[in-house]
Amino acid sequence: MAPMIARILDYMSESHIPVPHKYVVAVDHVGVAVPDFDAAVEWYRANLGFINYHDEVNEEQGVHEAMLGPADKVEGGTLVQILAPLNEESTIAKYLDKKGPGIQQYAVRVTDLEALMAHLKEQGTRVLYPEPKIGTAGSRINFVHPKDAGGVLLELVEPAE
């Protein structure tokens, strides 16, 4: 075995890497809040050649969303999530009123949302919901409070099976 690989395996086996490494497996997407859904989707198509991998309306969260990315994206690759408000009371509408359009959150893909939530709570990290909610394409989600994540809204996404 190559010396570098042996050192990495030794490091990992000695518990230098914290518990979450087995739960957090990828950066899933970057969420962009926009006032005009169609204009944003078209901009990414026309300027970057992105295609729409998933499009849905989430009534509970008051958002119209799309997952965009390159036509030849790598399996499991990071996407851009377009988030447009359905009404003036939605979280995205309030975000746009306060901060304007732009990056609203980033998300990591996880394998066991409840286990990660329990670990975060043990560390004193706040999550926004006591129980996971349903997100894009039937995924289960929660968010880390921005004050506990360096000022960024961090979404935790466990994809639907």
Amino acid at 108: V
Q: Are 133 and 60 in contact (CB under 8 A)?
A: yes
CA distance 159 to 29: 12
All domains of the chain in start order, with CATH = 22-158 (3.10.180.10)
| pLDDT for position 18 | 60
Sign of the torsion angle spanned by Cα atoms 23, 146, 44, 65: positive
| pLDDT for position 76 | 82
For the chain, give the longest Cα–Cα distance. 59
Residue reference for tokens 């991998």: 53
| pLDDT for position 52 | 96
| pLDDT for position 22 | 82
Per-residue pLDDT of the chain (161 residues; tens, 9 = 90+): 456 555 555 555 555 556 667 899 999 999 999 999 999 999 999 999 999 999 999 998 999 999 999 998 878 899 999 999 999 999 999 999 999 999 999 999 999 999 999 999 999 999 999 999 999 999 999 999 999 999 999 999 999 98
| pLDDT for position 20 | 65
